[in-house]
Structure 1
Amino acid sequence: MNDFLLEDSYEQYRSVDLEAKAASASPYDLVLVLVDGLLDELARARGHIEGRRYQQKGASLEKCMNILNGLSSALDFDNGGEVVAGLARLYDYCIYRLSDVSVTLSVEGIDEVIALVGTLREGWEGVNAARKAS
């Protein structure tokens, strides 16, 4: 079986898995699902850069930017205050870095975004755990 068929099958599996998780998720859980998907796709984009698979790199980075745009568009600017403004700046910065990575092929740029999103995920997981405990 060639690599394209394996990747296509894996993408179909991930899509069904993501749809199942999203259907049963609270808004807080849904953000975690999206962030996890973003981290997975960032790792995939990094692998594509290292493997010199530039077409796949482009598709992966586009998915990452779409997820970041989706997270940003879901922010409640009317009620979120400075936290929401900070998240919007973070999402915008990550999109900017990924746009740069698309041109420069900088693995360090992807690693920076992975670190930022990983820290965000830890914080969001803490908020979600506190919410569930109360």
Structure 2
Amino acid sequence: MYSNQREGYSQYQESDLAIQAAAASPYQLVIMLFSGLMDELVRAKSHIEAKRYERKVQSINKCIDILNALTSALDFDKGGDLSINLARLYDYCVYRLYDASDKLSVTQIEEVEAILTNIREGWENLGKQNG
């Protein structure tokens, strides 16, 4: 019974997220991606610490998928050097996550968290400036 309740709640969360994404502006989508990414980084660290290596792989792969989505959302024509630099940072984070996964390194995941926290704050400040 508990498993069915958990599945129902999971499906509710997914449909709620889909509704939010459909109604979101591009800026809001980026913030949503960052929120999911930061949550998944925390999960990846906890999986390493608890020696849940299959789940660690799933979490790291989700993080990399989100970073790839963030990269593909960049507008290189309008963003110029800023977009190029963000793409490089996202690529660096992907590289560090692959390495962290291989070495089971919580420290490397924390490095990625620090980089992404700074980028997320930049996005949030941009959103505040543009209303």
1:51 aligns with 2:47: no
What is the aligned partner in structure 1 of residue 121 from structure 2? 122
Distance across 1 between alignment mates of 2:64 and 2:117: 16
Distance across 2 between alignment mates of 1:112 and 1:84: 21
Name the TM-score, length of structure 2 as normaliser: 0.90
Per-residue deviation at 1:76?
1.0
Name the TM-score, length of structure 1 as normaliser: 0.89
Per-residue deviation at 1:74?
1.2
The Cα RMSD (Å) is 2.0
- Number of residue pairs matched by the alignment: 131
What is the aligned partner in structure 2 of residue 16 from structure 1? 15
Task: Tell me the amino acid that sits aligned with residue 24 of structure 1.
Answer: A
Distance across 1 between alignment mates of 2:96 and 2:121: 21
Percent identical residues? 52
Runs of at least 5 residues in structure 1 that lack an aligned partner in the other structure: none
Cα 1:58–1:124, aligned 2, differ >3 Å: closer, same or farther? same
What is the aligned partner in structure 1 of residue 68 from structure 2? 69
Runs of at least 5 residues in structure 2 that lack an aligned partner in the other structure: none
Cα 1:38–1:81, aligned 2, differ >3 Å: closer, same or farther? same
Per-residue deviation at 1:7?
7.2
